[in-house]
């Protein structure tokens, strides 16, 4: 909890003094109620603060695409002191967090933002956002195994939705698969491949919707372009 005038000043409304004057003049509402006491404490993350009827934005919304290497957990902190993806986001002062997750031992694309609405939208279970993976799996993958992956595989938390699966290469006795899924269940690709008899040896996420790795280097990130943000926001959630 922080003092209202301090939160307002941080949001760039005016100096703290001037903000106190605005409060005293009845120009500020917190959660719909006019507040005239400058000492009033607010929660900048939760409370809806309006100045002259306009909601204040506390932090500008930022969006980054990170190429996560293996060996980082997708979390903002770890009780076991392992490195987190935030350790890779040098120079970013906003309080960003990952959208969805990649396993510690998975590399590839991960979005990070401070936009809770977009994060909710993108991780909504019923949307249709595609995620593409390259999985190096043990052994030679038969047509039957591919067909099972495509149709859906029975995991302990239920059948997976139909997926796209194809062989894109071979590495000695092992196979490189491309898998495209819509869901985001825990360790889903690993469990799907394991279930059809081909444990994953290496896993990389190569695409989220229309966002690809492109020129991004492992361990590096880039801001999304405004048009990319708008496009992501427009990916629809079915209203059923």
Q: Tell me how many residues contact ligand URA (CB under 6 A).
A: 8
Residues 6+ apart with CB under 8 A from 67: 107, 108, 109, 213, 216, 217, 218, 219, 220, 221
3-state secondary structure 43-103: CCCCCCEEECCEECCCCCCCEEEEEECCCCECCCCCCCCCCEHHHHCCCCCCCCEEECCCC
Site track 90-129 with ligand URA (rule: CB under 6 A), x = hit: ------------xx--x-----------------------
- Alpha helices (H) along the chain: 4-10, 16-24, 116-123, 143-151, 188-195, 226-234
Minimum distance, C-beta of residue 203 to ligand URA, in the bound complex (Å):
6
**Sign of the torsion formed by the C-alpha atoms of 96, 119, 181 and 222:** negative
Nearer to ligand URA, 3 or 187 (CB): 187
Q: Binding of ligand URA at residue 73 (CB under 6 A)?
A: no
Whether residue 103 lies in the annotated active site: yes
Q: 131 — phi, psi (to 5°)? A: -125, 130
Of 103, 105, 115, 240, which residue is the catalytic one?
103
Nearer to ligand URA, 56 or 180 (CB): 180
Q: Which of 4, 19, 110, 189 binds ligand URA (CB under 6 A)?
A: 189
Q: Binding of ligand URA at residue 59 (CB under 6 A)?
A: no
Contact region with ligand URA (CB under 6 A), list: 14-22, 45-53, 155-163, 186-194: 186-194
Cα–Cα dist 193/52, whole Å: 56
Rounded to 10°, the helix 116-123/226-234 angle is 50
Minimum distance, C-beta of residue 67 to ligand URA, in the bound complex (Å):
14
Residues 201-220 that bind ligand URA (CB under 6 A): 203
Nearer to ligand URA, 13 or 135 (CB): 135
Q: Binding of ligand URA at residue 188 (CB under 6 A)?
A: yes
Nearer to ligand URA, 38 or 102 (CB): 102
Contacting positions for ligand URA (CB under 6 A):
102-103, 106, 187-190, 203
Which are the catalytic amino acids?
Answer: 103
């Amino acid at each position: 909890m922080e003092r209202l005038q301090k939160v307002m000043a941080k949001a760039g409304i005016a100096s703290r003094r001037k903000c106190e004057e605005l409060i005293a003049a009845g120009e500020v509402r917190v959660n719909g109620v006019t507040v005239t006491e400058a000492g009033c404490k607010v929660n900048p993350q939760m409370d809806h603060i309006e100045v002259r009827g306009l909601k204040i934005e506390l932090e500008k919304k930022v969006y980054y695409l990170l190429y996560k290497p293996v060996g980082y957990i997708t979390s903002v902190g770890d009780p076991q002191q392992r490195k987190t993806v935030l350790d890779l986001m040098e120079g970013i002062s906003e309080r960003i967090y990952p959208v969805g997750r990649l396993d510690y031992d998975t590399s590839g694309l991960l979005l990070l933002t401070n936009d809770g609405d977009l994060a909710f939208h993108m991780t909504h279970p019923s949307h249709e956002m595609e995620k593409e993976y390259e999985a190096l799996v043990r052994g030679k993958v038969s047509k039957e195994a591919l067909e099972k992956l495509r149709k859906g595989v029975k995991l302990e938390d239920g059948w997976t939705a139909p997926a796209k699966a194809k062989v894109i290469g071979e590495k000695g006795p092992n196979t490189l698969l491309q898998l495209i899924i819509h869901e985001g269940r825990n360790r889903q690709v690993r469990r799907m491949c394991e279930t059809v008899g081909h444990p994953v040896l290496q896993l990389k996420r190569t695409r989220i919707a229309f966002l690809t790795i492109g020129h991004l280097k492992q361990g590096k990130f880039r801001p999304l372009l405004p048009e990319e943000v708008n496009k992501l926001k427009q990916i629809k959630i079915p209203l059923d």
